Amino acid sequence: MEKNKYLSLAIKVLKEELQPLTSNEIWEKAVTKSYDKELGTTGRTPWASLGAQLYGSQKSSKYFEKVGSRPTKFILKENISKIDKEKIQTAITSQEEEKKVSYKEKDLHQLMAYYASVYMNVYSKTIEHTKSKKSKMAEWAHPDMVGCFFPFELWQKETSELSSELGSLPVKLYSFELKIQLTFSNIREYFFQAVSNSSWSNEGYLVASEIQQDPEFLMELKRLSSSYGIGIIKLDVEDPDNCEILFPAREKNELDWETINKIIDLNPDFQEFIELITSNIKLKNRKIIKDGFDKIKDIDDLIITK
């Protein structure tokens, strides 16, 4: 059975490593040793399947002992006496270290602009924090990127004209807070930053290229998303077309006009963003004027080597 293959893989790795490891670390060790090829699986996320078996399988508790939390690590019960007690104590108190990557947060903006344009039909704009007025009010006031969906771009001319005459020509505004990594050590700070600076929009998203994949973390991420309505987008720096919305944002029907007005006063990029939206609505044209929004690069220019 498939689940026995995953548990056998974990047993094989932990027998050799003699130290507590997270489900992600077990998978990484297995790949390094080419043990993953023994699974013969064609699934897209075998590391997630491994984690699910370690956390949820009844057989798992027969072989493994859980150590610590956030993230939980695993050791073989038969190896407890062989493992240095200091390593076990370190596993209980330590938090997962952030991975070192070769790119910066600003490199993610063009990737997010591509995904927003191609897969969400959203015109995006980067908001430069350095242009904001120096004020205590400016902290967490606006996100890294904003976006607008113009539904009338996809409508028939008659539908757009009727909507305009009725005074109900709609748009949807988006907020995107970009980070390189999401882990247990930073998720609350980053999440509530996204909550704070997206209050003005219809939909707010927390976006990252490196997201901790163990089931315990993903459950916490899902809980926060469900509780506060903030969506989660996973960017794939090596395959831009593989970016995806892990958890959708909860749409708000009303915009927060007071906050929008405050951000316009704080930042000229946001002011220009609002002006671009207004200009396109006034034109009553299905063809959106793109000048001023972030330019969309060719996919080959977006790929980042880790």
pLDDT tens for residues 103-116? 899 999 999 999 99
No. of helices (H) and no. of strands (E), the chain: 11, 8
**Which residue bears the tokens 């980053």?**
190
Please give the average per-residue pLDDT across 19-31, as a whole number.
87
DSSP-derived secondary structure letter, 140: T
pLDDT tens for residues 123-159? 999 999 888 877 655 566 689 999 999 887 777 777 7
pTM as predicted: 0.73
DSSP string, 55-69: HH-TTHHHHEEEESS
Domains of the chain, first to last: 5-93 (1.10.10), 105-301 (no CATH)
CA 306 to CA 299: how far, in whole Å? 16
For residue 88, give the nearest of 185, 16, 18, 183 by alpha carbon. Answer: 18
Alpha-carbon Rg of the chain, whole angstroms? 23
DSSP-derived secondary structure letter, 21: B
pLDDT tens for residues 277-296? 999 888 766 688 899 999 99
CA 238 to chain centre: 15
